[in-house]
């Protein structure tokens, strides 16, 4: 434990952002919208930092200079309409500057037209089920065996010895790179939520309702997330894994799993 701590600290010094153990920030992700989301987050962060530096700066000056122990005499002023108007109007303008780019991104997020691929993801206590509508393929996706063994109370297996502990499944969601994937979300029992930070997607899976969201991953890779709505005792043990592969590999995977290769997916690449 201590070893991890120290090596983590050194890792931080050496390669601050590369060491995942000390990750400080939201990922930029692998979609156009995940990058926009990251930018909005950073914009809000910097604006808050600037305001914080200003306000805390003034406070600190006051704490140092306007204290009785250095002989400061209290002033008598107690109001200023001009000040009130100024520090009401300026924040409103700052908020407008933040809201406009946010609204633009929100409109893009809503546009789920013309998908290349549709997957129905159903939340269960405590696993996901994926059904590829057009490929006639469906399967459950549950926590991978090594994680399952290490997660038990008092387990002799060290979580640090497990790759992607609690973030690995037996059968991931596989999608082709560059394809617009429409996700239809629902639940078989209680509320769940489907979240993959690298895709900047989080949507609730609600029994009796079909929610819709979409993503287009621009980079090949494996992206991991978790259920994001408390759903009972194993809420922390039903991860989401998305494998983004090239078109050929995707078609292979569909065929290997007994599905139907859909022409439209191929032609939209």
Partner 1 sequence: MSTAAADIEAHDDHGPAKGIRRWLFTTNHKDIGTLYLLFSLTMFFVGGAMALVIRSELAQPGLQFVHPEFFNQMTTMHALIMVFGAVMPAFVGLANWMIPMQIGAPDMALPRMNNWSFWILPVAFGILLSTLFMPGGAPASGWTMYPPLVLQTGNAFPFLIFSVHLMGISSIMGAINIIVTILNMRTPEMTLIRMPMFVWTWLITAYLLLAVMPVLAGAVTMLLTDQFFGTSFFLAAGGGDPVMFQHIFWFFGHPEVYIMILPAFGVVSEILPTFSRKPLFGHDSMVYATASIAFLSFIVWAHHMFTVGMPLSGQMFFMFATMLIAVPTGVKVFNWVATMWKGSMTFETPMLFALGFIFLFTIGGFSGLMLAIVPSDIQYHDSYFVVAHFHYVLVPGSIFAIMAAAYYWLPKWTGHMYNEKAGKLHFWMSTIFVNLTFFPMHFLGLAGMPRRIPDYSTQFADFNFIASVGAFGFGLSQLIFLYVLVTAKRGAEASDMVWDHPRGLEWTVPSPAPYHTFDEPVHIDRTVAFPENP
**Rule CB under 8 A: which of 151-180 touch partner 1?**
151-155, 158-160, 162, 164-167
Token pair of 227, please?
A: 């259920």
| 1 belongs to the binding site for partner 1 (CB under 8 A) | yes
Task: Decide: 205 and 194 in contact? Cβ < 8 Å.
Answer: yes
Residues 6+ positions from 215 with CB-CB distance below 8 Å: 31, 33, 180, 181, 183, 199, 200, 201
* Contacts to partner 1 from residues 214-233, by CB under 8 A: 225-233
* Contacts to partner 1 from residues 119-148, by CB under 8 A: none
| 46 belongs to the binding site for partner 1 (CB under 8 A) | no
| 267 belongs to the binding site for partner 1 (CB under 8 A) | no
Residue closer to partner 1, measured from CB, 46 or 248: 46
Contact characters 87-126, partner 1, x per CB under 8 A? xx--xx--x--xx--xx-xxx-xx----------------
Judged by CB under 8 A, how many residues of this single chain contact partner 1? Answer: 101
Minimum Å gap between C-beta 133 and partner 1 is 19
Minimum Å gap between C-beta 260 and partner 1 is 29
| 13 belongs to the binding site for partner 1 (CB under 8 A) | no
Strands 240-245, 173-176: pairing is: parallel
Rounded CA gap, 158 and 186, in Å?
Answer: 34
Residues 6+ positions from 156 with CB-CB distance below 8 Å: none
Minimum Å gap between C-beta 220 and partner 1 is 20
Task: Decide: 244 and 30 in contact? Cβ < 8 Å.
Answer: yes
Residue closer to partner 1, measured from CB, 185 or 245: 185
Give the alpha-carbon dihedral of 114, 208, 120, 168, to 10 degrees: 130
Name the nearest CA neighbour of 269 among 174, 177, 133.
177
Minimum Å gap between C-beta 64 and partner 1 is 10
């Amino acid at each position: 434990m201590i070893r991890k701590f120290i090596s983590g600290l050194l890792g931080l010094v050496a390669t601050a952002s590369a060491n995942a153990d000390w990750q400080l920030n939201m990922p930029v992700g692998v979609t156009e919208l995940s990058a926009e989301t990251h930018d909005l987050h950073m914009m809000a962060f910097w604006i808050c930092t600037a305001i914080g530096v200003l306000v805390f700066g003034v406070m600190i000056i006051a704490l140092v200079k306007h204290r009785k122990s250095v002989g400061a005499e209290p002033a008598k002023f107690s109001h200023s309409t001009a000040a009130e108007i100024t520090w009401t109007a300026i924040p409103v303008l700052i908020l407008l500057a933040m809201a406009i780019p946010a609204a633009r991104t929100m409109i893009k997020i809503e546009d789920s037209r013309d998908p290349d691929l549709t997957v129905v993801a159903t939340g269960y206590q405590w696993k996901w089920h994926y059904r590829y509508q057009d490929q006639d393929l469906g399967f459950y996706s549950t926590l991978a065996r090594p994680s399952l063994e290490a997660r038990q109370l008092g387990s002799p297996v060290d979580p640090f010895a497990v790759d992607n502990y609690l973030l690995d499944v037996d059968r991931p969601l596989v999608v082709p790179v560059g394809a617009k994937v429409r996700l239809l979300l629902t639940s078989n029992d209680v509320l769940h939520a489907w979240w993959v930070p690298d895709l900047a997607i989080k949507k609730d899976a609600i029994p009796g309702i079909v929610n819709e969201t979409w993503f287009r991953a621009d980079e090949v890779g494996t992206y991991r997330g978790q259920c994001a709505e408390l759903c009972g005792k194993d809420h922390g043990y039903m991860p989401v894994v998305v494998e983004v592969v090239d078109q050929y590999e995707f078609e292979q995977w569909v065929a290997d799993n007994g599905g139907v290769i859909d022409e439209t997916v191929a032609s939209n690449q």
